[in-house]
Amino acid sequence: MQKCKELTSQFLEELRGISGDRVIVGSEVNPDYAQDEMPIYGTQMPQASIDVLTTEEIAAIVKLCYENDVPVTCRGAGTGLVGGCTPICGGVVLCTMKMNRILGYDEENFLVRVQCGVLLNDLAEDALKRGLLYPPDPGEKFATLGGNAATNAGGMRAVKYGTTRDYVRAMTVVLPNGETVQLGAAVSKSSSGYSLLDLMIGSEGTLGIITELTLKLIPAPKCTASLVCPFGDLADCISTVPKFKKAHMDPQALEFFEKEILISSEQYLGKTVFPRVVEGQEVNAYLLVTFDANSQDALDALVEQGAEQVLEAGALDVLVADSPAKMRDAWAARSSFLEGIEEQTRLLDECDVVVPVSEIARFVLFIKEIEGQFDFAVKMFGHAGDGNLHVYTCSNDMEKETFCAQVDSFMEQLYEKTVELGGQISGEHGIGMGKVKYLVKTEGEVKMRLMKGIKDVFDPKGLLNPGKVTLDG
C-alpha cells in the first residue's frame, strides 16, 4: 500500500496545467473528501482534489499521477458506507459530480448514455418523462450512477428487475496508467472473450475510473400499488417473504423492517406513516410490498392476492397505498431509515449481508438471538425479497474503542453465519476498506489471490483507490 507523500511543486504545476484553478491543495480541500458516510472506518485528507469535467481530463490527470507514483481516489457523491472513497493514502481525489450530463437517449433500443456523475434520481425522473424506467433503485437516490456501477448497487427493485450490473451495456473507463478504453457495446448479449465490462462493475474504483455509461431502460409500468403489512410477530413477518415467489407473485419490491428502525425514520421525518398498534396488538415488524402492472385489472388482482397471502401468514392488517400521495409517504419513510439513524446516533456501523431468500428468517432470528450479548442497539431492515439485509449497530453512550471491539465480535458472528447459510458478506454496499478483513476471512486464500492478481494486472503500482478490496493495493 502506498504511503501519503508530499506533492512536489513541479507536479502541482503540471496538474494545474491540466485542470487550472480547479486544483485545490492543502487546507483548502473540501473536508468531506476525507471520508464517505461511514467515518467510523477512519478518515484521511488528500493532498489535492479536483472537480473533474471530462474523460480526457481524467485520463491526463491519472497518467501524470501514474508517472509520479501519486495515489488517485475517485469519488462521486460520497454516499458509500464502507469507506470506499476514503483516500487512505492521501494523494489526489477526483470528484465527478460536475460530470452530470445525460448525453442522449436511444429510445428504439431502450438505451441512455450518461456521464458518471449523473445522479440516480435525476436519470429516474428524466426517463419517466419519456415513459421509461431505469429499474435499479438503491435507497440513496442522490448517489451517482458511476458510483452505482462501481459498487454494483441493487436496491428495492432488485427482487424483480435485478441489480445495476443487469443494466450496464457499455462504459468508458480510464485505466490506472491513464489509457482510455471502451468496454461492452450497445447490444443485448455478447460472447466476445472475457467480460471486462462485468469485471469493472463492482470493482469499487480499484481497477479503473468509470467516466461514461450506456444503460438499459425498460418501458415504465402503467400502474403501481404498495401494501403496508404490519405483523405482531417478527418470525411470522420474515417467514412470509419466500411465500410470494411460491405463490407465483412477482413484486417490484419486497421490504422488511423492524419497529425500532421505523420509529427512527418517522422521528426524522416528523410524521407517523405506519400503524404502531392494530386492534390493540403492538406491531413489531412490517413488510412493504409493491406490485406493478400494465393494467388496473392486473394490478388489482395482484393486490388482492398479496393481501390474502400476508393475512394468512399472520399479518395484523393490510393497508393499500394506491394513490401517489400514499405511495410517496410510505416510501419516504422507508427511504429515510439511514438518515434517521444517522441523525440520532453518535457511533454507527453497518453490514449488508445477503443470504438465500429461504434462509432469511433463520438469519434474522439468529441476530435477535445474539444481540443481547452486546451493549449497542441493533436495528434491521432490508430488501427481503432478494435476501439482502441491512444491520446497523448503534450507540450514543459507549466509548468508541469499546464500541468498535464489540462490533467486530458481532460482525464476525454475523459473517460466519452468512457463509454457513450460503450467503455473501455484502449484497450491494461493497467492501471498501471497512470490510476487507472480513472478506479475507470468508473468501479464502485462493479467491483473494485471484483478486489480487487481477488488481496487479490493471494497476501494478497499486495507485488507484489503494487499500480497498484486496488490502495491499
For residue 118, being part of any structural domain is answered with yes
Same domain for 236 and 195: no
For residue 76, being part of any structural domain is answered with yes
Number of domains in the chain: 4
Distance between CA atoms of residues 365 and 285, nearest Å: 13
The whole-number pLDDT of residue 288 equals 95
What grid cell was written down for 256? 422488511
pLDDT bracket for residue 335 (50, 70, 90): confident
- Do 206 and 468 touch, CB atoms closer than 8 A? yes
pLDDT bracket for residue 472 (50, 70, 90): low
Containing domain of residue 183, as a range?
A: 102-219
> Domain containing 53 — which CATH number?
3.30.43.10
For residue 89, being part of any structural domain is answered with yes
pLDDT (tens digit, 9 = 90+) per residue, 119-164?
999 999 999 999 999 999 998 999 999 999 999 999 999 999 999 9
Of 219, 244, 272, the position where a domain reaches its end is 219
How does 75-97 read in b/e, with b if 16+ C-beta sit within 10 Å? bbbbbbbbbbbbbbbbbbbbbbb
pLDDT (tens digit, 9 = 90+) per residue, 387-421?
999 999 999 999 999 999 999 999 999 999 999 99
pLDDT (tens digit, 9 = 90+) per residue, 11-25?
999 999 999 999 999
Same domain for 82 and 66: yes
The secondary structure element, H or E, covering residue 75 is strand 72-75
Of 328, 356, 390, the position where a domain reaches its end is 328
Nearest to 76 by CA among 171, 175, 145: 145
Alpha helices in 8-78 (DSSP H): 9-19, 55-67
Question: Over 90: is that where the pLDDT of 327 sits?
Answer: no
- Do 86 and 1 touch, CB atoms closer than 8 A? no
Same domain for 373 and 316: no
> Domain containing 401 — which CATH number?
3.30.70.2740
For residue 433, being part of any structural domain is answered with no
Sequence-separated (6 or more) residues with CB below 8 Å from residue 263: none
For residue 177, being part of any structural domain is answered with yes
For residue 446, being part of any structural domain is answered with no
Q: What is the mean pLDDT of residues 351-380?
A: 95
CA pseudo-torsion sign 21, 27, 31, 34:
positive
What grid cell was written down for 380? 434491521
**312: how many CB neighbours lie within 10 A of its CB?**
11
The whole-number pLDDT of residue 299 equals 96
Same domain for 156 and 91: no
Torsion angle in degrees (nearest 10) through CA of 77, 78, 81, 87 = 150
Same domain for 241 and 181: no
Same domain for 315 and 210: no
Same domain for 238 and 177: no
For residue 442, being part of any structural domain is answered with no
The whole-number pLDDT of residue 1 equals 46
Of 54, 70, 97, the position where a domain reaches its end is 97
For residue 333, being part of any structural domain is answered with no
Same domain for 121 and 176: yes
